[in-house]
Amino acid sequence: MHDKPDFLDLPPRTVKPRTTGLTHVLDKGLTVSALDALLEQAADYIDVLKVGWGIAYVDPHIKERAVLCRQAGVTLCLGGTLLEVCAAQGRIPELTRWAHRIGVEAVEVSNGLARMSSDDKRALVRELSGEFIVFAETGTKDGDAPVTAHLWVDEMEADLEAGARHVIAEGRESGTVGLYHSDGTPRVGLAEAIAARMPLGKVIFEAPTKSHQTWFVRKFGSDVGLGNIGTDEVLALETLRLGLRADTALLGAPTSVGALA
């Protein structure tokens, strides 16, 4: 059992099962043993494990990995690209039956390939929210696509109304599209527009790099929802949230200069 210390004054942080301040981790195809080790060390800090892209479809051990996640209290989620391909081929019923069979609890509904209309996406959210936990993503994977803040927020609001549990602001694994400029810097106006109109606890900002994570923690606090976190960055992110890393150390926390002298 973890002998967890409690002698520091740290920022407030929700505990599992969380409904806000989620850490949404990107799984690029961990082996069963690697996932077991990750969950042994960091399950308390992982809320959602998204099996990226279409990896679940080709992973011979996905059912075993789903069992491990369920036992650890981590929600396993299928990647949005897989769902978009299924939608384009008219195979959502087959996807649904297969996902139930392997023990998947959640799906991501996205339109990153820009193949669905807004109405089609909302209909899919509505349909699948009766079967799974739905994470609905806003934004495309095309770096040249225009980013209009009020349209993003309109889509997020519509997705929540259609039954999504949380909405995700697209940033990709690269952190250079959607929520970010091509140089990786955040679109400040977009993030602020989302925070101004959306219940922040329902939003997950994709933040694949330390600089992105730091920016959002500084901007919105320790309980901001963050996604596309690397499997090797879970504990490091928690230190950012709690002010235990130089980038966020002592932000809003009481200090004693004498104690540091």
Task: Note the pLDDT of residue 114.
Answer: 81
User: If we measure between CA atoms, which residue out of 224, 235, 233 comes closest to residue 28?
Assistant: 233
pLDDT band for position 1 (cuts 50, 70, 90): low
Whether 257 has a pLDDT exceeding 60, the answer reads no
CATH of the domain at 238: 3.20.20.70
Residue 13 lies in a domain: no
Residue 4 lies in a domain: no
Cα separation values, 254 from 11, 43, 73, 259, Å: 10, 29, 33, 12
Task: Note the pLDDT of residue 4.
Answer: 87
Residue 17 lies in a domain: no
Rounded (5°) CA angle 17-23-24: 110
For the segment 80-92, the average pLDDT, to the nearest whole number, is 96
Task: Note the pLDDT of residue 144.
Answer: 82
Task: Note the pLDDT of residue 43.
Answer: 98
Task: Note the pLDDT of residue 140.
Answer: 84
Whether 254 has a pLDDT exceeding 80, the answer reads no
Residue 237 lies in a domain: yes
Amino acid type, 247? D
Task: Note the pLDDT of residue 141.
Answer: 79
Whether 193 has a pLDDT exceeding 90, the answer reads yes
Structure tokens at 63: 């059912």
175: left (phi over 0), alpha (psi -120 to 50) or beta: left
Residue 3 lies in a domain: no
Q: Read off the pTM.
A: 0.94
What DSSP string runs through 132-185? Answer: SEEEEEES-S-TTS---HHHHHHHHHHHHHHT-SEEEE--TTTT-STTB-TTS-
Domain tally for the chain? Answer: 1
Task: Note the pLDDT of residue 115.
Answer: 84
Tens-place pLDDT, residues 194-239: 999 999 999 999 999 999 999 999 999 999 999 999 999 999 999 9
Residue 188 lies in a domain: yes
Residue 147 lies in a domain: yes
Whether 255 has a pLDDT exceeding 50, the answer reads no
Determine the Cα–Cα distance for residues 113 and 87; give it in Å rounded to an integer. Answer: 11
Tens-place pLDDT, residues 93-142: 999 999 999 999 999 999 988 888 999 999 999 999 999 999 999 998 78
Task: Note the pLDDT of residue 68.
Answer: 98
Residue 2 lies in a domain: no
Enclosing domain of residue 57 = 23-260
Task: Note the pLDDT of residue 251.
Answer: 60
pLDDT band for position 3 (cuts 50, 70, 90): confident
User: If we measure between CA atoms, which residue out of 33, 73, 31 comes closest to residue 49?
Assistant: 73
For the segment 1-19, the average pLDDT, to the nearest whole number, is 89
User: What DSSP character marks residue 186?
Assistant: B
